[in-house]
Structure 1
Amino acid sequence: MSKTAKPDAPLTRGHKKRERTRQGLIDAALRLFARKEVGEVALLEVASEAEVASGTIYNYFRTRDEVVEAVGLALADEFSATISALSAGVGSGASRLAIGVRMFIRRALADPDWASAVIRVVHFDQAIRSQIAGYVLADLRAGTQEGVFDYADESIALDLVVSCGIGGMRAAVEGRGVEEHDSKVAEMVLRALGSTPARAHKLARQPLPG
């Protein structure tokens, strides 16, 4: 007979303060990653950016890799929440994929610092890469079942979508975006995945959620 699970105990004031400090360090690292390559950021820089005592950071993170992992997990959680919100009520995998590509490029245009951090962290952290891959694969498979996509290899299709999406974000950050940049990237991705030109054009210009 299984025991009834006990509810989680409420956080104490000390735990809440510790969580706030940890989140402050993660936010500080995210700001630094927006300005510098991940490998150039030292632990003490994160402490300084977060305006905490130098020794404080070692109570939370021992290495830069641990900081990168924490930032990656935070971005992955944010990514999940964003995609879930975008996907609500959208039944087509091909539509969801097009919407996702466009919305992340648009956010890069609106928030270059966030995009710069994502671009850098995604190459270092497995958590965010796995999160992205999970959603993209689901949409690729749904789009194939719908008869919209027709590609030879799923792993290559996955790489294509992620690489083009990140590339579109990078172009936005670097000021190389063209008119309707988000739609044009999405349209070319859809065509590369086997969509007909007419359908790709239509899907890449559908109204965006919200």
Structure 2
Amino acid sequence: MPAAKATQATTDHRPRVAAERRERMRKRLVESALIVFAQKGVGASVIPEVVAAAEVSQGSFYNYFRTNEELLAAVSEELSNEMLQLIEGVVGAIADPGLRVATAIRCYLQLARGNRMAARFLASAGVRAGGEHSMVYDVLPPDLEEGARLGQFDTAALPVAVDVIKGAVLVALHRMAHGRIARDYPEQMVQAMLRSLGMSMTDAVRLTAAPLPRLAIQAESLLARVQARAAVKDADS
């Protein structure tokens, strides 16, 4: 009986180890794909470059993804979900809906500003990044509606507000990814977005002057892994 238990104990770990190895490989492919997409654009066929960047065989790659589109969707979903969770974690406790809107957009822009590879990917992916599962589509609409009920936003502006903000955010991402910006550029952009929703300049400046909450980016996150690889590449070049 003890021998049977010992045999069982030695075999139980194998599925877990295999699953962990598979998850590590998938993460490696996704982070490599984000970097390659950021460099070449999301319209490019990147599978050979991703295979090389991840240092895997082409056969191994196809165990995880079959097409360029599947790879793009995986990167978009993981990055958008990660940024969404970070932002929701800090804005959820804010009582003022106007401040929640301003803080959520500022956090999103600051995350992109701190990770140029992510900013390049998001700017290139455009409206395809995350689909309707993103900061703009998931976090903002309820807060915009609440702010409108409280008189912070113009009710007439709400039907197109999300599209206006999405467009402004994409322009900001492109500028941050490909050029130099003023230190307060994210705040200026958010002020302009708030003004387009009917908020006074005084209130827009007040809401964007509030200290930003700290975003706790974990070392194993996609943002952190990509940033670390970009830093190594910069150091080697």
Between 190-199 and 168-177, the greater mean CA deviation after superposition: 168-177
CA-based RMSD:
2.0
Alignment of 1:70-81 (within 5 A): 70-81=74-85
* Structure with the greater alpha carbon radius of gyration: 2
1:130, CA displacement in angstroms? 2.9
- Matched residue count: 201
| Residue aligning to 2:133 | 130
Cα offset, 1:55, TM superposition = 1.3
Superposition deviation, residue 108 in structure 1: 2.8
After superposition, the C-alpha distances for 1:63-116 in whole angstroms (9 at most, x for unaligned) are 011001111110122122111122142112211111122222223332211111
Counterpart contact for 1:68–1:124, Cα < 8 Å: no
Structure 1 counterpart of 2:33: 29
Aligned to 2:168: 164
Of 178, 184, 192 in structure 1, the residue corresponding to residue 182 of structure 2 is 178
Aligned amino acid, residue 25 of structure 1: L
Q: TM-score, structure 2 length as denominator?
A: 0.78
- Asked whether the 8 Å contact 1:103–1:182 carries over to 2, the reply is no
Q: Determine the structure 2 residue equivalent to 1:107.
A: 111
For the pair 1:55 / 2:41, whether they are aligned, the reply is: no
CA contact (8 A) 1:151 1:157 kept: no
Task: Report if aligned partners of 2:65, 2:71 keep a CA contact under 8 Å in 1.
Answer: yes
- The one-letter amino acid paired with 1:201 is V
Q: Corresponding residue for 2:144?
A: 140
Task: Tell me the TM-score normalized by structure 1.
Answer: 0.87
| 4+ residue runs over 6 A deviation | none
Q: Indicate how the Cα distance of structure 1 residues 69 and 31 shifts in structure 2: closer, same or farther if over 3 A, else same.
A: same
Maintained 8 Å contact 1:164/1:189? yes
* Cα pair 1:136 1:161 within 8 Å, conserved: no
**Amino-acid identity (%):** 27
